[in-house]
Structure 1
Amino acid sequence: MAHWFHRNPLKATTYAKWELKSVITSDLAAKICSELRLRRDTFTEHLRSASAQLDTVEKEFNQYMALLYGFIYEIAETSAGSNSKLRYLQKFVWTNSMLGTEAIEVSDYWFEVLNICINVALWYMKRAAWVSGKDEVFEPDAKHIHTALRRAAGLFQFVLQNKDKLIGMYEFQGCDLESNVLDAYANQCVAEAQEVTIARAIELKHSPKIISSLAAETAHKYELCEKLIEKYNPANFEKWRSYFQLKKNFYLAYAYAYLGESFLSEDKCGEAVRACKQGIASYEKAEEMCAKYAKASGPGFVAKPEKHLFFRRIQPLLHRHLEKAERENGMIYHHTVPADAPLLESKAAYGLANPEPFEFPKPADEWTTFVYNAFDISKAFVPDFGKPKKAAKPLPPVKEEKVYETDKDPTNNSGLPLKLEDECAMPQESNAAGHSRKNDFGAGDGESPPAKQRRMESENAQPKSAPPSEELIVVEPSVSTPAAKIVRGPEKPAPSRNSLAVPSTANETSRGRSPTTPQEITTPAYSRISDEEVSDGEDLMVLYDGRAQETEENGDVVINTSTGDVQALANDVEIIPEEPQPVANGTSKEHQNIHMNGHAENEMSFDWEHMFGVSPVNRLTEVYKQIAEYRIRHARRFNSFNKSIWDHMMNNLQNDATFAWKMCIRQELWNELTKHYPKCILIAVGSSINGCGAYNCDMDLCLCLECPENRYETDRRYALRNLKKCQKSLTKVPVVKRVELIPAKVPILKLWFNQPYEQLEVDLNVNNMPGIYNSYLLHYYSRIDDKFPALCLIVKHWARRAEIADASLGTFNSYSLILMVLHFLQVASDPPVLPNLQALYPDYFSYDNNLEEFELFANLPSKLPDAPRNTKKVGELLIAFFDYYTSFDYDNWAISIERGCIFPRTELPENTRRFKVFIEEPFDGQNTARCITSDEQWDIIMEAFNEARSCFFGPRSNDPPSLQMLQIPVTHGPVAS
């Protein structure tokens, strides 16, 4: 969905050196100047991203202002609040949000304070736009938007109250320190905060009169904004002014629509007719203004409100009210329709937004009378004493990161993407790994981190939507845990993670945590992405369960599992990676560890084809050399880049509670199906069990039915026949809301549910055996090295953002993207990260195996071969992934996981030449990317890969790496100490 809010650009500024050596007579005074210089740089950098961690931005803002205090106010016991003698010591240069690159310079610390406040207020506005652009905006998110906008309004008012401390600003018409501009910004923030209130009032079905009065007040605010800036140069202000005009008419349309509904409820049909007609006229004017706004000149990123459901639904609403009013008036009341539009005179008594006042922070602890007096201004040269003048050189605009925008319509009453809390309870909200929706505006709960972690772990044992009287079994898998087996028939299944989970008795409590919820790492939520962004219901991820503890050797941190890399990166220390121990062979822990030193000579001498079952490509040495140079050049930012990839994985994985919650609904469906198919097996497949599942992915189930001729027939007609029987049966299950048969190439039943499972969708197929086998295979791959699931999630998210992850539109499905990551880690990661499990354990991963032989979270039949360890950072592998598939020869080579290599397409049937890419399914040999046949779609795919690669190579290699370069929104959390 395009943006709902118009946003103006941030203000640019020059580097502030704080070179006051001539006046500094104390090291403590010098320390304040050094702190200001460092904090300013870090703080202004964070403002570039609307998704930056709010707590971090606010903390840095307050710390910076507290350090500036002594340059604004005198530090003395008897004259608090007096002007500081240091006020005019330094020159600052700032642009204006509406005047392009021309800058103003003033030697006055108040000039710095006011411009910093304006930039923070603009950042609050952009943050509100970023939160509102998510796929799902829940009630806490709406409160965050509301609070951010009120805080922005408070900052603009603070600047307005103190702008007169600067003299001569009237010379720069349209600058940010003019009263009209500041008033317009403050009123815009208040009006947009009231938009949130209106949406909530519609969701809660408040009286039409209340909604009408709120909409009228909001329209009035936008009208005031428009009048405040009407005198300014259209070349700079036309777009902003047009935005106010279209929002004014839009909310007038809403005001008249609900006024008409109110008149109808009072049997005033004539006035209702006139109100609705006036609303339609206002809506048509808003439509006109949308077209004018799109073409208007001026800065700022463009909103497209006409694309939003909230905008589109007002017209049919007005016509429905008008039709009803005219019908009832013509048949019953016969009232005269007034010539003039009714007045919007009802005043809103509730819901009006007010700015949140901002007060200058208290001075930092570093400021004392001694430090203040250590600045000897008698040696200072201050020629202009705060007189503003045009800067000698223009400043380039701030390189702001793109504000995220969703492409989904909301499903609620208002049409704005706002869901009330009781509509959206998901078990994932209790996940300690960071899946809960954080209240970014909270001031802290007062708990110590260990206490909070213990509380969250205890809360994590049961999803919120589970019945309060029952506890879900959650078993911690380990070397000693019996392997989970598929259970046949309706008898009570074993408590496992594979496909079953049942309510336990009161004494069967469990303290275990899923391998998808790491024990040691509790990072804040970085980017919550929807199932549509991460997974389309196909195979996707689980961390291996053999988590080892950190140890120290000779001052270096040694991590015995690859997930330890996350904690090491968080601590900003160098790690010495060792072989993980995800798949044990029954020997002791010491013998399970495989030391891999990763030296080049070992890599060269190791027989990868025979020992690992893979054939590495040999053309990537130079590529990895370039990537290593890039990593060294941006060393610190590259560590952050790695950490953001790990955090992206940690914060989007399915946790125990969600898995158990899914298994409960699977159990209910199975109980019903066994009435008609006593020997059936119902197996969870795909994202939910293969180790690559996002926290909110839907569940795929395979109903395995024996038939006389072939044990598990995969014939489409057989599947359709039995799915129709299941459809009739499953509609009788009380928790099932709706069942729909989709006769695709692989027919499925799609199921929707009542509470407490209303957030879940299930796709049920019959005897789609490759789906079971490949889920089983990927489950074991995901337990070998966490780089695999980490890259899977990030690549799928990138592909969704690049619009190349929709098989129905002729691009990749999720399963193909996962196989591409798997193939890359087998042959192109230099050295290979993953072996070829089908080659090393052909009997264990055979398509001929019976379903009863499948075991999840079990040990492999034997230890993996000793092989050189890949020590590359996950960020390096991600960059190499894009390079590999940008230069891949798709016309002549195909990808095979089963063979662990690429092979010539000449070996394939002639009719496969129509496919732009061939990715061989590991079990049935079919092309998993068979939907990609169009030249046009293939060009879009390759353009996306080339664009991703170019973020790190060529001219852009001078830019430090970040996920935002790949259009993946990231919230920057604090780095662990």
Structure 2
Amino acid sequence: MEYYNMSTRRVSYDVLDICLKDILSTIKPSSDDERKRMHAISELETCIRSIVILKGAAVKPFGSFVSNLYTRWGDLDISIELPDSSQTPLSRKGKQHVLRNIMRALQRTGVAHSLQFIPLARVPLLICKSTYDGISCDISVNNRAGRVKSKILHWISDIDTRFRDMVLLTKEWAKAQDINDPKSGTLNSYSLCLLVIFHFQTCEPPILPPLKKIYEGNAVDDIRGFEYITERHIADICAANIRRYKSQYPIQRNRSSLSELLMSFFDKFSQIGTLSLEYAISTYTGGWQRINRNPVLLGQLPSIMIEDPFERPENAARSVGFLGKISDAFRDAYHKLSSRSMLSNRNALLALLTRPSISTQLNARAPERSTPKQINHQHYRHTGTANRFKNSEQIHERFRSALRLEQQGPSSSTAGYREERRKSRVNNYRGQGYEIGYCGVAFADDL
């Protein structure tokens, strides 16, 4: 198929550039948002310890929080890891029993409220909201597949910083267009991440490699199979392949701006309704695959096939039932952004790309902006440290210490080095996961 080449189209995206920066500054989590999630994890861990049958269980965050692909309002995905779970897989009924006990403990202690138990989901799930911080939590049991998936997503985000920004912008746009709700027959967040990866693979020149060059094989099958492969081994393979890819970047790198990438993203998938009749989207190979040439894909006949690169031939978009609505949203976004009058209208751009609550907030802030320097300052500004609960710093440091890599840099007393070490610990936390959990994206919304 013919792929979109951004070099063939040059348009002034000045207003759109500013809008995207403003949107990101609003939806990206602050240090306080991270602390709230840390505190919610700590409270849940304390609650789990009170359950006798779960003695020795570990609480491991995963999903977009650990992959660093979450927004300020993102849910917190938690996997309760039982002792010896890799040797003795737990049945569906066993997982349901564990979740029922957790639900009773949360009710008894008052740690969480608005509890919803979903035993018949593809992955049995307990949904709740932390009482103190108001963080929505999706709790599952022994979700090793999800942890592996998101470990690799985290590494992909390290290849090019534009990937994370594109995922956040795409998720906000999809929510604004009401096409990011698998329970309503539209796309889940994992599928949206895969669409962004596919777009980055098929740009000219490409930004990301086919995912088989990061891990060749089925990662999920490998951690479940008889010839058991540890998560650490998968991590080592992926890390080596990513280092190799980054060292071999083409001389002519893709330097497209976020505005250009977003425009070409909408263009590429504006005909997704028609293309999905003949093609599957494969991030594993980094290209479109004809369905009629693949007997496995041909037997599924879904509305749209977005192959799960880590669990082939599973369809990450199996819940989609309203492809027309999704296709219309892509086509509408592309046509609107093709209009020069639209590209110069800040209010119209915000209405297209964000939910009303976000666009209202950004429009109220608009008069404060006068110079590019001021814009950049606000884009990178954090909301600061909150003092909403006791010992937040101790909780924060406790989890960071638990997740720190053994490798340490040379000792130094300079403030600059301490700041680099702080940033390194954050990245190590997300990269290694809780207790070296390869925390992942078996997204809880993928029911």
Q: TM-score scaled to structure 2, two decimals?
A: 0.68
Return the offset for 1:652.
Answer: 1.4
Evaluate the alpha carbon distance shift between residue 965 and residue 625 of structure 1 in structure 2; reply closer, same or farther with a 3 A threshold. farther
- Aligned-pair Cα RMSD in Å: 2.9
**Does 2:251 match 1:865?**
no
Structure ID, larger Rg = 1
Q: Tell me, in whole angstroms, the C-alpha distance in 2 between the residues paired with 1:854 and 1:677.
A: 28
> For the Cα contact (< 8 Å) 2:211–2:309, is it kept in 1?
no
Alpha-carbon displacement from aligned partner over 1:422-457 (angstroms, at most 9, x marks no partner): xxxxxxxxxxxxxxxxxxxxxxxxxxxxxxxxxxxx
Residue 92 (structure 2) aligns with? 716
Aligned residue runs from structure 1 range 161-180, under 5 A: none
Residue 697 (structure 1) aligns with? 74
Residue 682 (structure 1) aligns with? 59
Q: Tell me, in whole angstroms, the C-alpha distance in 1 between the residues paired with 2:306 and 2:319.
A: 11
Residue 324 (structure 2) aligns with? 939
Aligned residue runs from structure 1 range 756-775, under 5 A: 756-757=132-133, 759-775=134-150
Residue 395 (structure 2) aligns with? none
> Secondary structure of 1:676's match?
helix
Return the offset for 1:702.
Answer: 1.0
Q: Tell me, in whole angstroms, the C-alpha distance in 2 between the residues paired with 1:769 and 1:663.
A: 20
Evaluate the alpha carbon distance shift between residue 699 and residue 965 of structure 1 in structure 2; reply closer, same or farther with a 3 A threshold. closer
Residue 151 (structure 2) aligns with? 776
Q: Tell me, in whole angstroms, the C-alpha distance in 1 between the residues paired with 2:205 and 2:123.
A: 38
Q: Tell me, in whole angstroms, the C-alpha distance in 1 between the residues paired with 2:340 and 2:42.
A: 52
Evaluate the alpha carbon distance shift between residue 964 and residue 652 of structure 1 in structure 2; reply closer, same or farther with a 3 A threshold. closer
> Secondary structure of 2:343's match?
coil
What is the aligned counterpart of 2:258 among 849, 853, 874? 874
Q: Tell me, in whole angstroms, the C-alpha distance in 2 between the residues paired with 1:661 and 1:800.
A: 23
The amino acid that maps onto 1:793 is L
Evaluate the alpha carbon distance shift between residue 867 and residue 685 of structure 1 in structure 2; reply closer, same or farther with a 3 A threshold. same
> For the Cα contact (< 8 Å) 1:685–1:702, is it kept in 2?
yes
> For the Cα contact (< 8 Å) 2:57–2:82, is it kept in 1?
yes
Alpha-carbon displacement from aligned partner over 1:154-173 (angstroms, at most 9, x marks no partner): xxxxxxxxxxxxxxxxxxxx
> For the Cα contact (< 8 Å) 1:714–1:769, is it kept in 2?
no
Q: Tell me, in whole angstroms, the C-alpha distance in 2 between the residues paired with 1:887 and 1:737.
A: 43
What is the aligned counterpart of 1:742 among 106, 112, 118? 118
Aligned residue runs from structure 1 range 560-575, under 5 A: none
**Does 2:310 match 1:923?**
yes
> For the Cα contact (< 8 Å) 1:646–1:790, is it kept in 2?
no
Evaluate the alpha carbon distance shift between residue 871 and residue 967 of structure 1 in structure 2; reply closer, same or farther with a 3 A threshold. closer
Residue 807 (structure 1) aligns with? 182
The amino acid that maps onto 1:974 is S
Aligned residue runs from structure 1 range 131-146, under 5 A: none
Task: Tell me the number of residue pairs that the alignment of Structure 1 and Structure 2 aligns.
Answer: 341
Return the offset for 1:817.
Answer: 1.1
Return the offset for 1:967.
Answer: 4.8
What is the aligned counterpart of 1:960 among 336, 343, 353? 343
Q: Tell me, in whole angstroms, the C-alpha distance in 2 between the residues paired with 1:965 and 1:667.
A: 38
> Quick one: higher RCO (CA 8 Å, sep 6+), 1 or 2?
2
Alpha-carbon displacement from aligned partner over 1:215-261 (angstroms, at most 9, x marks no partner): xxxxxxxxxxxxxxxxxxxxxxxxxxxxxxxxxxxxxxxxxxxxxxx
The amino acid that maps onto 1:923 is F
Aligned residue runs from structure 1 range 285-296, under 5 A: none
> Secondary structure of 2:55's match?
coil
**Does 2:9 match 1:627?**
yes
Residue 666 (structure 1) aligns with? 41
> For the Cα contact (< 8 Å) 2:308–2:316, is it kept in 1?
yes
Alpha-carbon displacement from aligned partner over 1:808-863 (angstroms, at most 9, x marks no partner): 11111121111111111112x2111122454235599674343566879x965734
Alpha-carbon displacement from aligned partner over 1:572-622 (angstroms, at most 9, x marks no partner): xxxxxxxxxxxxxxxxxxxxxxxxxxxxxxxxxxxxxxxxxxxxx54424x
Return the offset for 1:627.
Answer: 2.9
The amino acid that maps onto 1:919 is I
Evaluate the alpha carbon distance shift between residue 729 and residue 815 of structure 1 in structure 2; reply closer, same or farther with a 3 A threshold. same
Q: Tell me, in whole angstroms, the C-alpha distance in 2 between the residues paired with 1:854 and 1:975.
A: 47
Q: Tell me, in whole angstroms, the C-alpha distance in 2 between the residues paired with 1:679 and 1:657.
A: 30
Evaluate the alpha carbon distance shift between residue 854 and residue 625 of structure 1 in structure 2; reply closer, same or farther with a 3 A threshold. closer
Q: Tell me, in whole angstroms, the C-alpha distance in 2 between the residues paired with 1:837 and 1:920.
A: 12
What is the aligned counterpart of 1:976 among 361, 372, 384? 372
State the identity as a percent: 23
Return the offset for 1:959.
Answer: 4.3
> For the Cα contact (< 8 Å) 2:219–2:311, is it kept in 1?
no
Q: Tell me, in whole angstroms, the C-alpha distance in 2 between the residues paired with 1:850 and 1:699.
A: 25
Return the offset for 1:917.
Answer: 0.7
Q: Tell me, in whole angstroms, the C-alpha distance in 1 between the residues paired with 2:21 and 2:162.
A: 9
Q: Tell me, in whole angstroms, the C-alpha distance in 2 between the residues paired with 1:918 and 1:932.
A: 9
Aligned residue runs from structure 1 range 412-423, under 5 A: none
**Does 2:196 match 1:834?**
no
Aligned residue runs from structure 1 range 370-409, under 5 A: none
The amino acid that maps onto 1:662 is R
Evaluate the alpha carbon distance shift between residue 707 and residue 668 of structure 1 in structure 2; reply closer, same or farther with a 3 A threshold. same
Aligned residue runs from structure 1 range 321-470, under 5 A: none
> For the Cα contact (< 8 Å) 2:281–2:307, is it kept in 1?
yes
Q: Tell me, in whole angstroms, the C-alpha distance in 1 between the residues paired with 2:115 and 2:174.
A: 30
Alpha-carbon displacement from aligned partner over 1:750-795 (angstroms, at most 9, x marks no partner): 22333x32x2121100123322112111111122222112111222
**Does 2:230 match 1:850?**
yes
> For the Cα contact (< 8 Å) 2:211–2:285, is it kept in 1?
no
Q: Tell me, in whole angstroms, the C-alpha distance in 1 between the residues paired with 2:256 and 2:353.
A: 24
Alpha-carbon displacement from aligned partner over 1:360-392 (angstroms, at most 9, x marks no partner): xxxxxxxxxxxxxxxxxxxxxxxxxxxxxxxxx
Alpha-carbon displacement from aligned partner over 1:179-230 (angstroms, at most 9, x marks no partner): xxxxxxxxxxxxxxxxxxxxxxxxxxxxxxxxxxxxxxxxxxxxxxxxxxxx
Evaluate the alpha carbon distance shift between residue 627 and residue 773 of structure 1 in structure 2; reply closer, same or farther with a 3 A threshold. same
Evaluate the alpha carbon distance shift between residue 747 and residue 627 of structure 1 in structure 2; reply closer, same or farther with a 3 A threshold. same
Q: Tell me, in whole angstroms, the C-alpha distance in 2 between the residues paired with 1:893 and 1:642.
A: 32
Residue 525 (structure 1) aligns with? none
Q: Tell me, in whole angstroms, the C-alpha distance in 2 between the residues paired with 1:719 and 1:686.
A: 19
Aligned residue runs from structure 1 range 878-917, under 5 A: 878-888=262-272, 889-906=275-292, 907=294, 908-913=296-301, 915-917=302-304
Q: Tell me, in whole angstroms, the C-alpha distance in 2 between the residues paired with 1:809 and 1:649.
A: 26
Q: Tell me, in whole angstroms, the C-alpha distance in 2 between the residues paired with 1:854 and 1:672.
A: 32
> Secondary structure of 1:943's match?
helix
Q: Tell me, in whole angstroms, the C-alpha distance in 2 between the residues paired with 1:930 and 1:700.
A: 21
> Secondary structure of 1:920's match?
coil
Evaluate the alpha carbon distance shift between residue 821 and residue 836 of structure 1 in structure 2; reply closer, same or farther with a 3 A threshold. same
Gapped regions of structure 1 (runs ≥ 5) = 1-616
The amino acid that maps onto 1:735 is V
Q: Tell me, in whole angstroms, the C-alpha distance in 2 between the residues paired with 1:952 and 1:772.
A: 36
The amino acid that maps onto 2:112 is V
Q: Tell me, in whole angstroms, the C-alpha distance in 2 between the residues paired with 1:836 and 1:647.
A: 31
Aligned residue runs from structure 1 range 552-591, under 5 A: none
Return the offset for 1:797.
Answer: 1.6
Q: Tell me, in whole angstroms, the C-alpha distance in 2 between the residues paired with 1:929 and 1:687.
A: 17
> For the Cα contact (< 8 Å) 2:280–2:288, is it kept in 1?
yes
> For the Cα contact (< 8 Å) 2:3–2:204, is it kept in 1?
no
Evaluate the alpha carbon distance shift between residue 775 and residue 966 of structure 1 in structure 2; reply closer, same or farther with a 3 A threshold. same
Q: Tell me, in whole angstroms, the C-alpha distance in 2 between the residues paired with 1:844 and 1:810.
A: 27
Q: Tell me, in whole angstroms, the C-alpha distance in 2 between the residues paired with 1:853 and 1:660.
A: 31
> Secondary structure of 1:880's match?
helix
Return the offset for 1:701.
Answer: 0.3
> Secondary structure of 1:923's match?
coil
Q: Tell me, in whole angstroms, the C-alpha distance in 1 between the residues paired with 2:329 and 2:87.
A: 44
The amino acid that maps onto 1:850 is T
Return the offset for 1:875.
Answer: 0.6
The amino acid that maps onto 2:104 is K
Q: Tell me, in whole angstroms, the C-alpha distance in 1 between the residues paired with 2:233 and 2:60.
A: 13
The amino acid that maps onto 2:259 is G
> For the Cα contact (< 8 Å) 2:304–2:323, is it kept in 1?
no
> Secondary structure of 2:9's match?
helix
Q: Tell me, in whole angstroms, the C-alpha distance in 1 between the residues paired with 2:255 and 2:43.
A: 46
> For the Cα contact (< 8 Å) 2:198–2:282, is it kept in 1?
yes
